[in-house]
């Protein structure tokens, strides 16, 4: 079955960096666009970034543009989110999610990983 | 950026009742709207995509309708396990992909 296993969350100081990983199994990872979405404590969902299946395009929310980078290693079936210059307002549960090859609804989600930015 | 406004913020109904959740877009999103269910402590789950298509494994009591700026998620006969927060999401005019603020459904 489709599985997205996330890792890399934790506590980091403001201005610090963290890299999140999302390892996929149970489907053809190379054929799927992938997203990162976050949810601050007690808040709603915020889309952050998208990487097309062939890495031809990547898009970011304004709130993270220039600080976060989405990437993938298809040989390892893994999606990454490199987060730099972290701020307290980046504190959230971060989800990876996949989309169909030619669409943008998010049809499977990872369990989430908590990132806390605090001094 | 397209803003999605969901109503009501909270809905409290009894098992067996019909639930109607609304999502209104600040401009037309054609039929490119999805609905998600999120239970406490869990990741969201896709229910409906392209306004009216049920995702794999979603019970038939969930249905979606609408186009343009006004959309509805209907749960025909509530079950206790339907207690959750429901989000709509658009992908017509992007980036960014945007979500509504959510409707909390409580089962009495």
Tens-digit pLDDT profile for residues A14-49: 999 999 999 999 999 999 999 999 999 999 999 999
- Confidence label for A114 from pLDDT (cuts 50, 70 and 90): very high
Chain B positions in Cβ-Cβ contact with residue A35 (cut-off 8 Å): 97
Q: Do the Cβ atoms of A103 and B49 come within 8 Å?
A: yes
To the nearest whole Å, the CA of A51 is away from the closest chain B CA by 12
Span B80-101, mean pLDDT? Answer: 95
Residue B93 has pLDDT above 90, yes or no: no
Q: Which of A114, A99, A117 is nearest to A31 (CA)?
A: A99
Interface A:B, Cβ pairs < 8 A: 59
User: A104 and B31 in contact (C-beta within 8 Å)?
Assistant: no
Residue located via tokens 């239970």: B39
Min distance A11 CA to chain B CA atoms (Å): 19
DSSP B66-97: EETTEEEEEESS--GGG-EEEEEEE-SS-SSP
CB burial class (10 A; 0-12, 13-18, 19+) of residue A44? middle
The B residues from 19 to 48 touching A (CB cutoff 8 Å) are 32, 34, 36, 38, 42-46
The mean of the pLDDT values for chain A is: 96
- Is 90 exceeded by the pLDDT of residue B74? yes
Please check whether residue A35 is in contact with residue A50, taking contact to mean a CB–CB distance below 8 angstroms: yes
């Amino acid at each position: 079955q489709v599985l997205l296993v996330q890792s890399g969350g934790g506590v980091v100081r403001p201005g610090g960096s963290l890299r999140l990983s999302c390892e996929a199994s149970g489907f053809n990872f190379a054929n799927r666009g992938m997203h990162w979405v976050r949810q601050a404590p007690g808040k709603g969902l915020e889309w952050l970034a998208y990487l097309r299946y062939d890495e031809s395009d990547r898009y970011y929310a304004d709130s993270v543009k220039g600080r976060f980078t989405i990437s993938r290693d298809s040989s390892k079936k893994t999606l990454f989110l490199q987060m730099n210059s972290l701020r307290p307002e980046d504190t959230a549960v971060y989800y990876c999610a996949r989309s169909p090859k030619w669409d943008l609804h998010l049809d499977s989600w990872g369990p989430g990983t908590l990132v806390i930015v605090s001094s | 950026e397209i803003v999605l406004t969901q109503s009501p913020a909270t809905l409290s109904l009894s098992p067996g009742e019909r639930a109607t959740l609304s999502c209104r877009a600040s401009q037309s999103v054609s039929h490119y709207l999805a609905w998600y269910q999120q239970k406490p402590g869990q990741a969201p789950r896709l229910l409906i995509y392209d306004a009216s298509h049920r995702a794999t494994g979603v019970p038939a009591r969930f249905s979606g309708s609408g186009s343009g700026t006004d959309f509805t998620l209907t749960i025909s006969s509530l079950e206790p396990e339907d207690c959750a927060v429901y989000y709509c999401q658009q992908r017509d005019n992007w980036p960014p992909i945007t979500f509504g603020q959510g409707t909390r459904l409580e089962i009495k």
